Each structure stands twice: as C-alpha cells, then as structure tokens.
Amino acid sequence: MSKQYFHGKGVVVKVFADDRKGSRHQKFTVKLKPNKSVVVVHNIDLSQRINQLKIGDLVEFYGVYQWNRFGGLVHWTHKSANVAEHKSGWIKHHNIIYQ
C-alpha cells in the first residue's frame, strides 16, 4: 500500500487525553470543512508536545493519511529519521512548527 500524504488546515474541535501506551501520542480532532474532520495523532516521543493546544485553535498539518470507518487519521507529523521510509511531517500552531 502506498502512503498518502495529506496537507490540511482547520479548527480543533476535540482534544483527547494523551495516549501513553507504547509510543506516546497527542491526539486531537480537526474540522476541515462542514461534515469533514480528521483525527491527528502526533508522536510526542519523536516530537515536541503542543502544550497550549485547545478547542477552537487553528492548526495546519502535514503527515500520512490513513483512512478508517470514522473518516481517517493523520500520523507521521514529525521529522523522519529515514526519508526513504517517510517524508517528514509537521504541525503548525500559533506560528510554531512542531516536527
């Protein structure tokens, strides 16, 4: 299966508790447009956590899109140690790039 890279921008509509099982992840839902949203799953073992993230914030992001029955999620929002394996992703929040 080929990787689908996705660049999006939208408003944070839900912030979940950090997932601390295995690699730690920060998770939040971004509304892209009416009836379209995506969950962003940001690895905080490989990138800095976005500490001031809250509902209503505008974020822009780039990472690997993975479809699921709920609409999908975006992960690999961090620098890649092996660019042949994955392109580097990122999240922009309040003009700060988290990678």
pLDDT score, position 34: 85
Of 56 and 87, which is predicted with more confidence? 56
- Cite the beta strand spans of the chain per DSSP E: 4-15, 25-33, 36-43, 58-66, 73-75, 90-93, 96-98
The CATH homologous superfamily for domain 4-98 is Nucleic acid-binding proteins (2.40.50.140)
CA pair distance 3, 43, nearest whole angstrom:
18
The domains of the chain are located at 4-98
> Taking all residues of the chain, what is their mean pLDDT, rounded to a whole number?
91
Q: What is the pLDDT of residues 41-69, one digit of tens each?
A: 999 999 999 999 999 999 999 999 998 87
Residue 39 scores a pLDDT above 90: yes
Identity of residue 81: A
pLDDT score, position 67: 86
CA pair distance 53, 26, nearest whole angstrom:
10
Other C-beta atoms lying within 10 Å of the C-beta of residue 98: 20
